[in-house]
Amino acid sequence: MAEASTIKVWDPLVRVAHWGLVAAFATAYLTEGEPEWLHVWAGYGVAGIVVVRVFWGLIGPQNARFSKFVTGPICASRYFFALIGRRAERHVGHSPAGGLMVVALILALSVTAFSGMALYAAEEGRGPLSSVISMQTRAGQNISDDEDEEHGDSLWKEVHETAANVTLALVILHIGGVLLASIAHRENLARAMITGRKRV
């Protein structure tokens, strides 16, 4: 009976990517570089999952595709205010506001992961960006190696920390939106992202 009254919405890759990002970002954020190896590999995990999710958003099943749920900010804001007033239309897949949040999180996570790899390259001379960052930070500058290294490190560190904090703020807003939509539409959206199913 339960199976007959629900419909499959989220495929396994979307669900694994979602909870994988939760685990990887939480690990990277909470470790704050200590131990470094765990922070670095959690960051690589974030980057890898984001790449897979973007790819899946282009070729995956209907509910996973960006073309299905990405709308403009006006449509998203209309949905959000209707949701607050308990007048919002229920969407089986991502709502307009949820779709906008997916894009915002992917962008924020991308900047966080890239700046983290750049910082790792600038500080340690390691990682996939090590050769690129070392060449860029020293190209055409008439300053000492120590000053150059400090300047590059501080810039990437500031970008990385800001991006991580923006991502955390978006995560908090996302959780709030999920709770609000779950109450308004009387369904457990977090559970749906685990089971992959929602009511018909």
* The predicted structure's pLDDT at residue 143: 43
pLDDT digits (tens, 9 = 90+) for 150-199: 555 788 999 999 999 999 999 999 999 999 999 988 999 999 999 999 88
* The predicted structure's pLDDT at residue 140: 44
Residue 95 lies in a domain: yes
Q: Work out the average pLDDT over 9-26.
A: 97
SS3 60: coil
- How many whole angstroms separate alpha carbon 89 and alpha carbon 76? 12
* The predicted structure's pLDDT at residue 85: 85
Q: CATH number, domain at 109? A: 1.20.950
Count of the separate structural domains present in the chain:
1
Q: How confident is the model at residue 62 (pLDDT cuts 50, 70, 90)?
A: very high
Residue 34 lies in a domain: yes
Structural Rg of the chain based on CA atoms: 20
* The predicted structure's pLDDT at residue 137: 54
Residue 1 lies in a domain: no
Residue 134 has pLDDT above 80, yes or no: no
Range(s) of the domain holding residue 96: 6-199
